[in-house]
Structure 1
């Protein structure tokens, strides 16, 4: 939700909330990192936060490059974004044997495609396509969260007993 809100703010001329929305979006990455600390530890939580913040910073740079029509910069940033997705997948699969690196990369790549679809629809002012991309993106991110949380519970069942 915050990613889509940022795209709206960043692609809307004169949006006053762009910095505030970005700050909230980055806070979300801290929240995710903090959520894994009870099971994976402080260092792992901080590492995940750093990887996720990198993901957001690159996404913000992609939005700016797209707005500027800078295809060369956009291509360079997309490569960095997919490399970051690879790093996130490697981190998560190393931390949890129930998460396979290739499966995570597939999920993360699909997420990147959906964010790109949201941005593209926004840039074209194709609001119908944007609504579809946001709906699809929300469903996908929930499925990703379910996949990861199921693997964590499977890895640490004693931490999730009632």
Structure 2
């Protein structure tokens, strides 16, 4: 994991608020994804409610961008994240059903979506490297697939170890976006 983005220097209250909100959104992203994977894997009766809450995360993440980029860009980001979440559920459902063709198709679309998210963020903010964010995001995707497989195999201890890596990766992505926004809009902080 990279060093904390603030590197011990003083940061403003606005930076702390943005950082906390961004980290919370990304934490919720991975937690609700894990809960959705479990609900799919074990046919839990909460699947619809958990999925609805997971999809709300896409809107929450987009709303964090509104003050900086406006509604149109925030909505586009929300839609990209929503697609990411929907495809993730498709992968788990196809894997559970043993449909490897559907898994491969969904994985291909998932990685294309991850590349699109990375490109989108780098376009709206020159301080986000498309290549570096794509590498982080692809790691997130690979770890999430590994987590889902382990859950489907009922290897819960290993799935938790992978989830710890997913959580750290999510916080790194949150910090990357936060730092880039602060650098792009320094007068607001």
Compute the TM-score of the two structures, normalised by the length of structure 1: 0.96
Q: Which runs of 5+ in 2 are unaligned?
A: 1-30
Name the counterpart of 2:155: 126
- Which one has more relative contact order, counting CA pairs under 8 Å at least 6 apart? 2
Measured after TM superposition, the shift of residue 83 of structure 1 is 0.4
Q: CA RMSD in A?
A: 0.7
1:39 aligns with 2:68: yes
1:6 corresponding residue in structure 2? 36
Q: How do 1:60-79 and structure 2 match up within 5 A?
A: 60-79=89-108
- 2:59 corresponds to: 30
Cα-to-partner distance string for 1:40-92 (whole Å, 9 max, x where unaligned): 11100000000000001101110110010000111011000000001101100
Taking the aligned partners of 2:133 and 2:78, their CA distance within structure 1 comes to 17
Q: Which runs of 4+ in 1 moved over 3 A?
A: none
- Which sections of structure 1, spanning at least 5 residues, go unmatched? none
Deviations for 1:22-54, whole angstroms, at most 9, x for unmatched residues?
A: 100100110000110100111000000000000
Equivalent residue of 2:159, what SS?
helix
CA distance, structure 1, for counterparts of residue 101 and residue 59 of structure 2: 31
Offset of 1:159 from its aligned partner? 1.4
Q: Which residue of the partner structure matches residue 112 of structure 1? A: 141
Q: Equivalent residue of 2:64, what SS? A: helix
**Residues of 1 paired with 2:183 and 2:87: CA distance?**
32
**What is the distance in 2 between the residues matched to 1:127 and 1:42?**
40
- Find 1:59's aligned residue among 75, 88, 96: 88
Q: Given the alignment of the two structures, is residue 83 of structure 1 paired with residue 144 of structure 2, yes or no?
A: no
